[in-house]
A and B are shown apart, each in its own frame.
Chain A
Amino acid sequence: MSEDELDPVIHAPARLRIMVTLATVPEGDNLSFTRLQDLIGLTPGNLITHLRKLEDAEYVTTLKSGSGVTARTAVSLTSAGRAALDRYSAVVRELLGSVSPEPRS
């Protein structure tokens, strides 16, 4: 197994943080754009850029509701996104296992 098997959409620090943060909330729940931004520490423009890439891959969905002061953008992980993150984690674990040092005898 090689690093080439890591999903390139997820294998970027900011997008990895977005995916992992969204995976913390239970399936069926979502995070507001502002709370996600607060947790990840990205500027709004950068967060939008990374969310677009994840949306293109159908890993996240964004849903806008309300208007004016009540406007809210909800961001959530899709089932495909959750499965992709599980696969990514499994590959990372596998690769870390294969590069871990031999136990001393």
Chain B
Amino acid sequence: MKEDADSGNGTGMDVQQAAAIMQDTTERAQRALIVRRPVLFAVWGVAWLVADGTIWLSVRDQHPYSGPTPASLLVLTLVVAAAAAITTVLVGRAGSGVGGWTVLQRRILLLSYLGGYIGLFALEAAIDHAGASRAVLGVYGAAAPILLAGLVVAASSALNLDWSVFGLGIWLLAVAAGSGFAGPVSVWAVSALAGGGALLLLAAAGLRRRRS
């Protein structure tokens, strides 16, 4: 709906109308410009739960442990790709036409995360090359990405002093550090439940707060 220039001037606007315009505009702008975090938490919570859960199902009867099956790794890849695609659409839609510091900060965080992942894979290859067992590689493969995610999430909370995000980051660091003790098989189940489950709980809490 287009408005003519005259109706944009203040003639006749009383204070109640001004308050109504402020509230309506704020709600519209927030809906359009701010990514709904509970939706992102839900998307990644489901992805995490399905991906690590599938890997756990593929390794739970292995004696001795030999590692995730190609089929379960394919599921992980597809699920993560789907979650990344949904995130890209949601963030891209909200961020369309927005420029400045936030965009730059988001790019730096993404680059840090991708750089960290490349480092993790390189280190895994080095550990393998140094003669680590399949079990050690299994624990590393499951726990190290959570450690990286926790670190990035906790550090990102400093950008706008978001304590709930900081709490999530610290929780992920604790899950990464603790889950390794479950061994190369159960580490996947612990990761799926404690990591994916935590994101789903945060999503549910966020959605409940929005409705109340």
B-side interface size class: 35 or more
List A contacts of B30 (CB < 8 A): 24
B98 touches A16 (CB 8 A): no
A20 and B21 alpha carbons, distance in the complex (Å): 9
Residue of A nearest to B25 (CB): A20
- A87: interface (CB < 8 Å): no
Residue of A nearest to B9 (CB): A12
- B18: interface (CB < 8 Å): yes
- B161: interface (CB < 8 Å): no
List A contacts of B210 (CB < 8 A): none
List the interface of chain A (C-beta within 8 A of B): 3, 6, 8, 11-17, 20-21, 24-26, 28-32, 34-36, 38-39, 41-43, 45-46, 49-50, 72, 74, 76, 89, 92-93, 95-96, 99
A41 and B21 alpha carbons, distance in the complex (Å): 13
- B14: interface (CB < 8 Å): yes
List B contacts of A15 (CB < 8 A): 8
List the interface of chain B (C-beta within 8 A of A): 1-5, 7-10, 13-19, 21-22, 25-26, 28-30, 32-34, 96-103, 160
Knowing A3-B14, A11-B13, A25-B33, say if A34 contacts B97 (CB, 8 Å): yes
Q: Could you tell me the dominant secondary structure of chain A's interface residues? A: helix
Q: Could you tell me the dominant secondary structure of chain B's interface residues? A: helix
B3 touches A46 (CB 8 A): yes
List B contacts of A46 (CB < 8 A): 2-5, 8
A74 and B22 alpha carbons, distance in the complex (Å): 22
Knowing A25-B33, A31-B97, say if A13 contacts B13 (CB, 8 Å): yes
Knowing A39-B29, A39-B32, say if A20 contacts B22 (CB, 8 Å): yes
A50 and B6 alpha carbons, distance in the complex (Å): 10
Q: A67 to chain B: closest CB distance in Å?
A: 17
Residue of B nearest to A15 (CB): B8
Residue of B nearest to A34 (CB): B97
List A contacts of B98 (CB < 8 A): 25, 29-32, 35
A24 and B34 alpha carbons, distance in the complex (Å): 9
A20 and B196 alpha carbons, distance in the complex (Å): 37
